[in-house]
Amino acid sequence: MNITASIYTDIYAIIILLITMFLTIKNPVGDKSSNNRYISMLALTMILLVLEIFTVLMSLSSSRTLVIPHRIANVLGFALSPVVPFILSCLPSSKKIRFKTMFLHLPLLINIIMCVLSYKTGWIFFVDNNNKYSRGDLFLIPMIISAFYFVFLMLDIRKSIINYKNENNKLIILICFLPIIGAVLQIAFKDILLIWGNMAISLVVYYILLREIQFRYDPQTGVKNRLAFEKEMKKYSKNEKDMAIVVLDINCLKIINDKYGHKEGDNVIINAAHIIKKSFIDIGETFRIGGDEFCVICEDATKGGIEAALTKFEVLLAIVNKDRKIKIQVAYGYDFFRKGEDESIFSVFSKADSAMYDHKARCKRSRM
């Protein structure tokens, strides 16, 4: 690869990462901790791209005055390389995972020590007195440690979005393997500089992945939102498939909010969403379509399957309510859409909604 082209590529990558950082600061992705870790990744990758540009430029000269800064730049570059995947692969510390976090620090510490010692020993890299750079016998160590952290990073990303099914598997593979592919090519061909350019692409794809999840999922409950529901309904209105629609509504939420505060009301919503999703996970997709209203779309579901899911729901609800001072009460109703019939999917939703209100009225009468 042409050296000038490598420098321009790194500069373009830095500009893209700066834009991504600005967007991330303006519109955070995930919680504060996750957002800060992502911003740290962007900043560190930009630092490594700058170091790469400096080392490339310094390697073009045989001036002895550049030997010390050339060595220092390589020490920093190789020492910081595994830190990028480490930041995301190392989960926030807790008692349960503290040992794991300490274990993940060990390869990072070893790499830093070896890189610092390489200033004199040439283990990882060597810059001679004529400012000529060459790879050391242990050049692969930082690459191997980086690959080790990328494996944990992949597991971390999959764990983070496991509740969102497997819709983003291709993006996950792209995020994790682009830097690894860049590293393999850079090891095989000395004049190719791809690791940090590929890492920049991975971070931008990761941002797109997180943003897409935010667009389609309700941040409070983790189930799909109203926008995703409407999109799904439009899709089913064009398809000839049997399906069932279950509408669920939390009872007395306004009273809970007024009497105990919105924090308790939010707790009720989150717990109800979790129970609904767990009850229907094998047969349908759960959506939050209003403040206290949920809908489950079940493709090719039978009446027996819906009744079994609702029975499971009642059992789980009773278990949760056993230890709760503020009880969760949910009304529900359902109806079926059959292919070949004249009735629209939206009409079926209205019937399910009416059935839910009938159930709500019966629950209210039973409490009197």
160 and 249, same domain (yes or no): no
End-to-end CA distance of the chain: 80
State which of 216, 251, 280 marks the end of a domain: 216
Number of domains in the chain: 2
Q: Which two tokens stand for residue 248?
A: 């669920």
State which of 216, 243, 260 marks the end of a domain: 216
How does DSSP classify residue 288?
Answer: E
211 and 230, same domain (yes or no): no
Cross-strand bridge partners of residue 298 = 244
Q: What is the pLDDT of residue 93?
A: 41
Q: What is the CATH number of the domain that holds 104?
A: 1.20.1070
Strands 243-250 and 330-337: antiparallel
Quick one: 26 exposed, middle or buried, by C-beta within 10 A (0-12, 13-18, 19+)?
exposed
Q: What is the pLDDT of residue 182?
A: 81
Q: What is the CATH number of the domain that holds 301?
A: 3.30.70.270
- Comparing CA positions, the residue from 49, 58, 55, 56 lying closest to residue 12 is 49
281 and 338, same domain (yes or no): yes
In a domain? residue 87: yes
46 and 87, same domain (yes or no): yes
Tell me which residue has tokens 């590929």.
198
Quick one: 200 exposed, middle or buried, by C-beta within 10 A (0-12, 13-18, 19+)?
buried
How does DSSP classify residue 331?
Answer: E
In a domain? residue 273: yes
- pLDDT tens track, the chain, 368 positions: 556 678 888 999 999 999 999 999 998 877 787 788 889 889 999 999 999 999 989 988 889 999 999 999 999 999 998 888 787 666 444 444 444 566 778 888 999 999 999 999 999 999 999 999 999 999 989 988 888 887 776 666 555 555 455 556 667 777 777 887 887 887 777 777 788 888 898 889 888 888 877 788 888 898 999 998 998 888 887 766 788 999 999 999 989 998 889 899 999 999 999 999 999 998 999 999 998 999 999 988 889 999 999 999 999 999 999 988 888 999 999 999 887 777 788 899 999 999 999 999 888 766 65
Q: What is the pLDDT of residue 160?
A: 54
In a domain? residue 348: yes
In a domain? residue 130: yes
231 and 206, same domain (yes or no): no
- Comparing CA positions, the residue from 24, 11, 325 lying closest to residue 204 is 24
- Give CB contacts under 8 A, 24+ apart, made by 104-113: 104/149, 104/152, 107/82, 107/145, 107/148, 107/149, 108/82, 108/83, 108/145, 108/149, 110/145, 111/78, 111/79, 111/81, 111/82, 111/141, 111/142, 111/145, 112/79
CA distance 3 to 10: 11
Which structural domain, as residue segments, surrounds residue 238? 226-367
169 and 243, same domain (yes or no): no
231 and 211, same domain (yes or no): no
167 and 305, same domain (yes or no): no
State which of 175, 192, 216 marks the end of a domain: 216
In a domain? residue 221: no
Instruction: Please enumerate in sequence order all residues whose Cβ is within 8 A of that of 362, keeping only pairs 6 or more positions apart, or say none.
Output: none
DSSP labels, 113-157: HHHHHHHHH-SSEEE-TT--EEE-TTTHHHHHHHHHHHHHHHHHH
DSSP E strands, the chain: 125-127, 133-135, 243-250, 285-288, 293-299, 330-337
